């Protein structure tokens, strides 16, 4: 019975992490800073481009002028299903993300990024400890975000 319980917990953890990652796009596309902040640990961080938002600053992402311009133009943050590795109360998930931007009567990929989500399980469930997002622009080191642990 203990083996079955352990396997069930592993499946539940994996699904919770996949769900957490999948909630990012709808939160930022609907300018819902509250829902976005709920994905992060209180002292979590989000690093992208040359910016690092920490703690409750993550909610302010939806208010950045560049982000507002994307939403007003018509955009969608599309994330692939992550590869998830769990180790007790910590986990790492890696995936691709695309920012699809309206261009006339069609849409084009504006950004294609590698993502590394470092997560922790707390009293409220799984939360992001740190997310690192880097453009897949040929820069050395960026593919390392996909490394296992």
User: pLDDT tens, 101-143?
Assistant: 999 999 999 999 999 999 999 999 999 999 999 999 999 889 8
Classify domain 2-146 by CATH architecture. Roll (3.10)
Q: Indicate the domain borders of the chain.
A: 2-146
Reported pTM:
0.94
Model confidence pLDDT, tens digit, residues 53-112 = 999 899 999 999 999 999 999 999 999 999 999 999 999 999 999 999 999 999 999 999
- Calpha distance 117→91 (Å, rounded): 8
């Amino acid at each position: 019975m203990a083996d079955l319980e352990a396997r069930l917990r592993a499946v539940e953890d994996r699904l919770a992490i996949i769900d957490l990652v999948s909630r990012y796009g709808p939160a930022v596309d609907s300018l819902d800073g509250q829902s976005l902040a709920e994905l992060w640990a209180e002292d979590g961080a989000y690093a992208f481009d040359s910016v690092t938002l920490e703690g409750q600053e993550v909610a302010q992402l939806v208010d950045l002028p560049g982000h507002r311009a994307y939403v007003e133009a018509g955009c969608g943050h599309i994330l692939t299903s992550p590869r998830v590795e769990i180790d007790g109360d910590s986990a790492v998930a890696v995936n691709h993300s695309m920012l699809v931007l309206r261009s006339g009567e069609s849409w084009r990929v504006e950004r294609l990024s590698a993502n590394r989500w470092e997560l922790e399980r707390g009293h409220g469930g799984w939360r992001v400890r740190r997310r690192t997002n880097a453009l897949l622009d040929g820069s050395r080191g960026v593919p390392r975000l996909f490394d296992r642990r």
